[in-house]
Amino acid sequence: KLENATIKAELGRASWKLFHTMMARFPEKPSEEDSLALKTYIKLFARLYPCGDCASHFQQLLKKFPPQIGSRNAAAGWACHVHNQVNERLKKPLFDCNNIGDFYDCGCGDEKKATGE
């Protein structure tokens, strides 16, 4: 079947949204079990990502930049960095990872913010 760049991009946007939102909700102080779960998730995400070409590139990236799973900040910063690596390869603008803080909100409304909302 022919490649359809529109559908491929749509899948990418949806996937990145889930990926970064998951990092934004990862515990600030994860248990060892939490960290292992995230590490396993990332590895399987890279392996099972539906676009095969993307998946093999991403697996290479994981070898070069092993997942940072020690805290929410580490995980979110790492995910931003690897997404930027993909952006660079696809000649897309880079995202400022210092602004990742409140950018990904799950809308779940069940976690207290520092502002006390």
* Residue 115 backbone dihedrals phi, psi, to 5 degrees: -75, -10
For 57, the 3-state DSSP assignment is helix
**Structure tokens belonging to residue 53:** 């070409």
Which stretch in 14-22, 27-35, 65-73, 107-115 sits in contact with ligand FAD by CB under 6 A? 14-22
d(CA 79, CA 62): 10
80 lines the binding site for ligand FAD (CB under 6 A): yes
What is the CB-side half-sphere exposure of residue 41 using CA atoms within 13 A? 16
Nearer to ligand FAD, 21 or 71 (CB): 21
21 lines the binding site for ligand FAD (CB under 6 A): no
Q: How many helices (H) and strands (E) does the chain have?
A: 4, 0
Which stretch in 6-14, 26-34, 64-72, 108-116 sits in contact with ligand FAD by CB under 6 A? 6-14
The CB-of-53 to ligand FAD minimum distance in angstroms stands at: 5
**Structure tokens belonging to residue 31:** 């248990």
Nearer to ligand FAD, 18 or 36 (CB): 18
Instruction: Using CB under 6 A, list all residues that contact ligand FAD.
Output: 8-9, 12-13, 15-16, 20, 49, 53-54, 57-58, 80, 83-84, 86-87, 90, 92, 95, 100
